[in-house]
Amino acid sequence: MARLKRKAEAEKAGLPVVHRHAAGLGIGSTFHMVAVPPERDSQPVRAFRSFTGDLHRLADWLEKTGITTVAMESTGVYWIAVYEILEARGFEGLASCLLEDFVGDDLRNALDVDLGAVDLARAGRDMG
């Protein structure tokens, strides 16, 4: 039920799909939320731990779903390991946005990483 509600909310936002092969990653210190277009997988939003083996599984899943471009959102240095693995696999448009550069602490702490990943995937664009 929550998934349908989130999908409806995202559709209301009216964000155009700019790059159909894009995924969005919400980067955290202990886990990362990853979203691909809903038609790519029966579970289009997944969580992956931040260990190296999990990051390789994340890259495997993105390859399996046909993703070629990745947009990342991070509040710290935690994006570096993900970036290095995805770059080595040949993903394009890798970008990391340091959220703290754009919003204050109160807003950043209130954000839902899961929805952030969905928004990045919907509005993904080639930033390479």
Decide which of 3 and 73 is more confident. Answer: 73
Lowest mean pLDDT among 1-5, 24-28, 70-74, 76-80: 1-5
Distance, CA of 90 to CA of 68 (rounded, Å): 8
Average pLDDT, the chain: 74
H or E segment at 22? strand 22-27
Q: Note the Cα 74 to chain centre separation in Å.
A: 10
Work out the pLDDT band at 54, boundaries 50, 70, 90.
very high
The SS3 assignment for 17 reads coil
Query: What is the tens place of the pLDDT at every residue in 94-111?
Result: 766 654 444 444 433 433
Determine what percent of the chain is predicted with pLDDT higher than 90.
34
Count Cα atoms within 13 angstroms, Cβ side, for 94. 16
Rg (CA), the chain: 14
Buried b (16+ CB within 10 A) or exposed e, 59-80: bebbeebebbbbbbbbbeebbe
First to last CA, the chain: 36
H or E segment at 124? none
